[in-house]
Structure 1
Amino acid sequence: MTTIAVLGNGRVGGNLARALTRAGHEVTVADRTPGAAADAARTARIVINATPGAGSLDRLAALRAELRGKVLVDVSNATVDGPDGLPAGLLHPGASLAEQLQEALPDTRVVKTLNTMLFPVMTAPASLAQAPDAFLSGEDAEAKQTVRELLADLGWRDEWITDLGGIRTARATEAAILFVPHVIRSSGFAPFAISIAR
């Protein structure tokens, strides 16, 4: 059992929290208020950023002391939304939210993952007709192994998890969010993930 703080209590955060609790972890969910997030992060071994990506950097940078030494799992995408509320562009072109978080939190081990799929797939990867991929980006090998084990608890088989390398590789996976509005407009809001055919 691991103590986990999920920052963000929307569809993504709630879905992850329920699944991780079912897997036997001790999970605390914090909303976006600074006090709640600080309290949750302080007592957790792993912190999951499931806050809206546009405000994640400021929110988490304010938790620098609480996040020191922790594994921060970043599942958010920082986007500029179009008139229909769907992603229309990247908030950090030429970089990534994960890189910005790692720079702002040098004593925290940031791992980017689960940001290339609709939220139901995060906790039910076997529900898709084809095997999905979960990508890992981060500088710390031990932290990435910790996240790999967490993904296994969510139903991800080892061969579905691809370690892309350092945190800079998150630029590629975050850019994949730009597929989402087009797929939704074409096929509706049905669960899907970006996968690599092999």
Structure 2
Amino acid sequence: MTSIAVLGNGRVGGNLAAALARAGHEVTVADRTPGAAADGARAARIVVNATPGAGSLDRLAALREELRGKILVDLSNATVDGPDGLPADLLYPGSSLAEQLQEALPDTYVVKTLNTMLFPVMTAPASLAQAPEAFLSGDDPQAKQSVRELLTDLGWREEWITDLGGIRTARATEATILFVPHIIRSSGFTPFAISIAR
């Protein structure tokens, strides 16, 4: 059992928190109540960023002391939305939210994952007709191993998890968010994930 704080109680955070609790972890969810994020981060071993990506850097940079020595699992994509509310461009072109977080939080182990799919797939990967893929980006091998173990608790098979390397590789997975609005317009909000055919 691991103590986990999920920052964000929307569809992504709520879904993930419930699944992690079902898997036997001690989970707290921090909403926008003043002090909730700091309290959650302080008490947890692993902190999950499920906040909207455009504001994540400011929110998490303010928790630098609470996040010191912790694993930060970053699920968010930082985008500029178009008129329809769907992602239209990247907020950090030539970089990524994960890289920005790692730079702002040098004493925290940032791991990017689960950002290349619609949220229901995060906790039910076997529900898709084809095998999905979850990518890991991060500079610390032990932190990535801990996140890999969380993914298996959520139903991800080992062969569905691909370690891309250091945190800089997150810019590649974050860029795949630009596929999403086109897929949604073409197929609706049917659950899907980006994966590599081999």
Runs of 4+ residues over 3 Å off in structure 1? none
The whole-number CA distance in structure 2 between the counterparts of 1:34 and 1:143 is 28
* Secondary structure of residue in 2 paired with 1:66: coil
Q: Tell me by how many angstroms 1:34 deviates.
A: 4.5
Q: Normalization by structure 2: what TM-score? A: 0.99
* Secondary structure of residue in 2 paired with 1:65: coil
Partner of 1:5: 5
Q: Tell me by how many angstroms 1:33 deviates.
A: 4.0
Partner of 2:123: 123
Q: Which amino acid aligns with 1:58?
A: D
Aligned residues: 198
Q: Tell me by how many angstroms 1:31 deviates.
A: 1.1
The whole-number CA distance in structure 2 between the counterparts of 1:34 and 1:65 is 16
Q: Which amino acid aligns with 1:132?
A: P
The whole-number CA distance in structure 2 between the counterparts of 1:95 and 1:177 is 14
Partner of 1:40: 40
Partner of 1:88: 88
CA root-mean-square deviation? 0.5
* Secondary structure of residue in 2 paired with 1:92: coil
Give a deviation string over 1:125-173, Cα, whole Å, max 9, x none.
0000000000000000000000000000000000000000000000000
Q: Tell me by how many angstroms 1:94 deviates.
A: 0.5
* Secondary structure of residue in 2 paired with 1:68: coil
- Percent identity between matched residues is 88
Structure 2 residue ranges without an equivalent (≥5)? none
Q: Normalization by structure 1: what TM-score? A: 0.99
Give a deviation string over 1:44-78, Cα, whole Å, max 9, x none.
00000000000000000000000000000000000
The whole-number CA distance in structure 1 between the counterparts of 2:71 and 2:59 is 16
